[in-house]
Structure 1
Amino acid sequence: MTDADRADPYVAAAEPLRARLVRRIATAGAFDPRWRAAFEAVPRHLFVPVYYRLRPSGGGFTRLSAGSPDPRARARWLAGAYEDTPLVTHIRGSELLSSSSQPSLMAAMLEALEIRQGQTVLEIGTGTGFNAALLAHCLGPEAVTTVDLDRAITDAARAHLGAAGYPSVTVVTGDGSLGWAHRAPYDRIIATCELPSIPPQWLRQCRPDGLVLAPFGGGLIALRVTDSGHAQGRFLRTPAYFVSLRGTGAIAHPAPEAIGPEQRIRTTTTPPQVLDDDLFRFLLTLVAGELETRWAFGGRGAAVTAADGSAARAARDGTVLLAGPRDLWALAEEAYDLWQREGRPQRDRFGMTVDGDHQWTWLDRPEGPNAWEV
């Protein structure tokens, strides 16, 4: 038993919960023995002493804490820490700032990094520090650097890593879109926040033949780095939804209901309910750029908005209300025609290329007819 275990009053109660979580992750797909050992060794509950659940009624969050005076509430907190679900850990008002990712998704991402002993990793989006601890268990804490914009988040993560026995992980408070040049170059860069594009600093800080793994458009892109300005790769098949990148690389969106005063009306034969399909939304994001989508009108239609102020509402009767500089629904129609023609392609048929300042996504091949600027 380690010193950290002796200081942890939940170590015995957590052991069977952790074993059950590891079994669930193993049933979700391939599970390299190194990562299985990491998940067996690193206690997730130390990284989520407080987390929040959305109330079923939609009326805000319920707080669960290791410090609750009610033993039943503490038992619910501990059990929830070992469920294969994401956990909201930092909120500001109604805004979600940070979370602990779904463990099975974390395992899939770590597998996809193709890490070897002796390599170094930069993590963008520290969160609770749990992912950094898994990396540290596999590679050694000196090999891991993790960056987050919010000092409250990095301070908490540093404390969690120390409590779990990994105080030597380098935790940086900074703008993740800029990377962390002080410890570059890295063999691997992994992001745990949604990106609007690949920051150029990341490629400059990654060794040739290194790998950048990042959430993009509701998927995970694995980019093999050629040099400081070039990288290319394909998306993993798995869906992935993360809190958006904050800092200089972030973009803002108006609410989907905020249709501007310059309204235009037309009709469509593309069913708005297609936006309920995860694979279609992924393709639409590649075609149209990062969007916010939401069902509206009591389920009778859908709304989409983009960062440039463009917006579209499509009703089930085929009526479309438009605003802003672009016809977003025309892009939805274009994506729908391609989606149907190509047999509703899975994410791993898509890829991304970075060539200096030029970035684009594509279907099947980089030079093919189906390619979209990022």
Structure 2
Amino acid sequence: MTNLDELRTRAAEALDFPDVWTRHAFEAVPRHQFVPDTVWVVEDGVYRPFSRQDAPDRWARLVYNPTQSIATQVDDGAPALAGGDVPTSSISEPRAVVSMLAELDLEPGHRVLEIGAGTGYNAALLAERVGAGRVITLEIDREVAVGARAALHRAGYGGVTVLEADGEQGWRRDAPYDRLVATASVTSIPWPWVEQVRPGGLILAPFRTAFCPHGLARLTVSGGRAEGRFAGAVTFMAVRGQRARPRISEVFSAESWEESRESKADLDVAMLLDPHAEFAVGLRLADVAHWSQDGGHWWCSRDSWAYVADGAVYQWGPRDLADETAAAVAWWTDAGRPELFDFGLTVTADGHRVWLGDPSEAWPLAAA
């Protein structure tokens, strides 16, 4: 039988801990106590249930894989008989968890609001640093919240407050907080988060655009705004209120294909394989979805689409999305190919603005 404590020790040895406390927390919190006996794994493109009882050693290795996240719920708890389509709750990979904890700059005694309890594991790690009674975690899904609360009690972190609530609204009753951390991604920072963090406090949230799924916003609250640079390239599932899929079925049809404008490709789509280029283009075209499929590339906005394959471009609607992407890539190249970390975000009650290097030269972030 696999020794779970030994696996946790091995995982700790494989991780790059930025400070002493994050390693202590990882070694102290039994991750396996926060993973359900039945999880979801991808088989033939579909999420299927996987039971600890059927393969305990495989389950244990999955739990303590440093680079493996685990889906603990799919399709909001109502998967089809054939299997699940979309993961809707998970326990994040240890590598991402540790890096985000380090970015929080936590000190003992800080009051922390977590958005997205999930299994409760991250809240337990937070509690190791600040004390269980200083952590409030919100979970929109009742069943998930019940599971997180039970796991925290079993593992000795019953002092953490788990509330069934819409995380986008925060939890005003116990504000202000020193830190607010989200474990689900957003395309816009909810204004209640800014209002509920004290001046000088931090907001840390996975951030995505319709174009690019990865990003991590680290914002300091001050003077009626939250502002800061992007601190990483993590990818998380979206908060429930900001889920969105490309609207391709609403704008693409046989008729629009016949009406599309055809031209030669003036875009090296391979450039978008660079995560920094993809992120930068996403900030310029935040409302445009992009994905590859069967050797071609698609773009889609509310009223336009584009398709590139075999050196040809097909575009339809009032916008030329492939051309806009080419212009954004050229802008990024002319700017010296800046990294994700060179960009920043400013959030005010009036909206979001993004910038490269200098906040005074920001541009509006388009709504996805």
Q: Once the 2 structures are TM-superposed, how far is the Cα of residue 200 of structure 1 from its aligned partner?
A: 0.6
Which AA in structure 2 matches 1:219? G
Cα pair 2:40 2:47 within 8 Å, conserved: yes
1:52 corresponding residue in structure 2:
40
Range with bigger deviation, 326-335 or 31-40: 326-335
Q: Once the 2 structures are TM-superposed, how far is the Cα of residue 125 of structure 1 from its aligned partner?
A: 1.3
Which AA in structure 2 matches 1:47? F
Q: Once the 2 structures are TM-superposed, how far is the Cα of residue 95 of structure 1 from its aligned partner?
A: 2.0
1:7 corresponding residue in structure 2:
none
Range with bigger deviation, 200-209 or 163-172: 163-172
1:159 corresponding residue in structure 2:
150
Which AA in structure 1 matches 2:27? E
Q: Aligned with 2:359: secondary structure?
A: coil
- Of 170, 174, 178 in structure 2, the residue corresponding to residue 179 of structure 1 is 170
Q: Once the 2 structures are TM-superposed, how far is the Cα of residue 290 of structure 1 from its aligned partner?
A: 4.8
Cα pair 1:256 1:292 within 8 Å, conserved: no
Q: Distance in 2 between matches of 1:148 and 1:159?
A: 13
Q: Distance in 1 between matches of 2:19 and 2:287?
A: 33
Compared CA separation, residues 288 and 254, structure 1 to 2 (3 A): same
Compared CA separation, residues 226 and 293, structure 1 to 2 (3 A): same
Q: Does 1:339 find its partner at 2:332?
A: yes
- Of 207, 211, 223 in structure 1, the residue corresponding to residue 219 of structure 2 is 223
Q: Does 1:79 find its partner at 2:61?
A: yes
Compared CA separation, residues 150 and 359, structure 1 to 2 (3 A): same
What TM-score do the two structures reach when normalised by structure 2? Answer: 0.88
Q: What stretches of structure 2 of length at least 5 have no aligned partner?
A: 80-84, 209-213
1:275 corresponding residue in structure 2:
272
Spell out, residue by residue over 1:159-204, the C-alpha distance to the aligned partner (whole angstroms, 9 max, x if none). 1111111111111111111001111110000111111111110011
2:316 corresponding residue in structure 1:
322
- Of 348, 360, 374 in structure 1, the residue corresponding to residue 341 of structure 2 is 348
Q: Distance in 2 between matches of 1:213 and 1:45?
A: 25
Q: Distance in 1 between matches of 2:4 and 2:248?
A: 42
Percent identity over paired residues: 36
Q: Aligned with 2:3: secondary structure?
A: helix
1:3 corresponding residue in structure 2:
none
Which AA in structure 2 matches 1:51? V
1:5 corresponding residue in structure 2:
none
- What does 1:1-374 align with in structure 2 at a 5 Å threshold? 13-26=3-16, 30-49=17-36, 50-55=38-43, 57-58=44-45, 60-66=46-52, 68=53, 70=54, 73-84=55-66, 85-92=68-75, 93=79, 94-217=85-208, 218-227=214-223, 229-236=224-231, 238-247=232-241, 250-254=242-246, 256=248, 259-261=251-253, 262=256, 263-267=259-263, 268-296=265-293, 298-299=294-295, 301-306=296-301, 308-323=302-317, 326-368=319-361, 371-374=363-366
Q: Distance in 2 between matches of 1:172 and 1:82?
A: 27
Cα pair 1:259 1:312 within 8 Å, conserved: no
Spell out, residue by residue over 1:317-359, the C-alpha distance to the aligned partner (whole angstroms, 9 max, x if none). 1313334x54332331222101221232211100001233131
Q: Distance in 2 between matches of 1:42 and 1:327?
A: 51
Counting matched residue pairs gives 346
Q: Once the 2 structures are TM-superposed, how far is the Cα of residue 104 of structure 1 from its aligned partner?
A: 1.0
What TM-score do the two structures reach when normalised by structure 1? Answer: 0.87
Q: Once the 2 structures are TM-superposed, how far is the Cα of residue 226 of structure 1 from its aligned partner?
A: 0.2
Q: Aligned with 1:367: secondary structure?
A: helix
Spell out, residue by residue over 1:267-323, the C-alpha distance to the aligned partner (whole angstroms, 9 max, x if none). 331123333332222112211115443212x21x211234x3543222231313334
Q: What stretches of structure 1 of length at least 5 have no aligned partner?
A: 1-9
Range with bigger deviation, 285-294 or 147-156: 285-294
Q: Aligned with 2:221: secondary structure?
A: strand
Q: Distance in 2 between matches of 1:182 and 1:290?
A: 34
Spell out, residue by residue over 1:187-234, the C-alpha distance to the aligned partner (whole angstroms, 9 max, x if none). 00011111111111001100000000111121111101004x312100
Q: Aligned with 1:343: secondary structure?
A: coil
Which AA in structure 2 matches 1:39? F
RMSD over aligned CA atoms reads: 2.0
Compared CA separation, residues 310 and 121, structure 1 to 2 (3 A): farther
Compared CA separation, residues 118 and 65, structure 1 to 2 (3 A): same
Cα pair 2:182 2:205 within 8 Å, conserved: yes
Spell out, residue by residue over 1:129-158, the C-alpha distance to the aligned partner (whole angstroms, 9 max, x if none). 110110011111111111121111111111
